[in-house]
Structure formats: structure tokens, C-alpha cells
Amino acid sequence: MEEKKVICPNCGSSKCIKNGRVNNKQTYLCKSCYSRFSLDRIRKRYPNEIKKTAVKLYKDGYTLTEISKKLDIKIQTIHYWIKNSRNGR
């Protein structure tokens, strides 16, 4: 049930294991880079400029894959931004 895929915010690896709880928050340990993190921190905030750049590149005709590689951001994230930028803002 709780087996969501957890991605390391540090290196992007999905080889993360549960590492106990701290202050009632589940923490994880990345087996690739050994950084520890909690789910709260996974939502990495990207600066607006990167968002704009991604959306702009998309409008310029780049594919999601290309943008993802260029900016080193997950395709899902970029897709989300593009969807959002279409809905008004």
C-alpha cells in the first residue's frame, strides 16, 4: 500500500529505502548517494525562470525529452508546468 516510488531529491535515483521516522515523518535513505530526506522535501521547488525556460523551449518546438535532458528536470515536472501554463497562467 505504501509502496510509492520515492525519488531521491539529491540524485534522482529511485533506489530509496525507508529509514525510520523522525518527528513522525517518514524519512528515506538513498542507496545511490546515501543522502537522507523526508517526503516533505521531495517537492523540489524550481525557480520561476526555469519553468519559463522549459515552457518557452516547448513552445519553440522542443520535445519534452529534449527539454528534460537540457534542463535536467523530470519529464513529468515539465509536462505539469506546460499543462499549467496552458490553463490561463
# binding residues, Zn ion (CB under 5 A): 7
Instruction: For the CB of residue 10, give the shortest distance to Zn ion in the complex, in Å.
Output: 4
Q: CA-to-CA distance for 29 and 31, rounded, in angstroms? A: 6
Instruction: For the CB of residue 35, give the shortest distance to Zn ion in the complex, in Å.
Output: 5
Q: CA-to-CA distance for 66 and 29, rounded, in angstroms? A: 30
Site for Zn ion in 3-62 (CB under 5 A): 8, 10-11, 13, 30, 32-33
User: Rule CB under 5 A: which residues touch Zn ion?
Assistant: 8, 10-11, 13, 30, 32-33
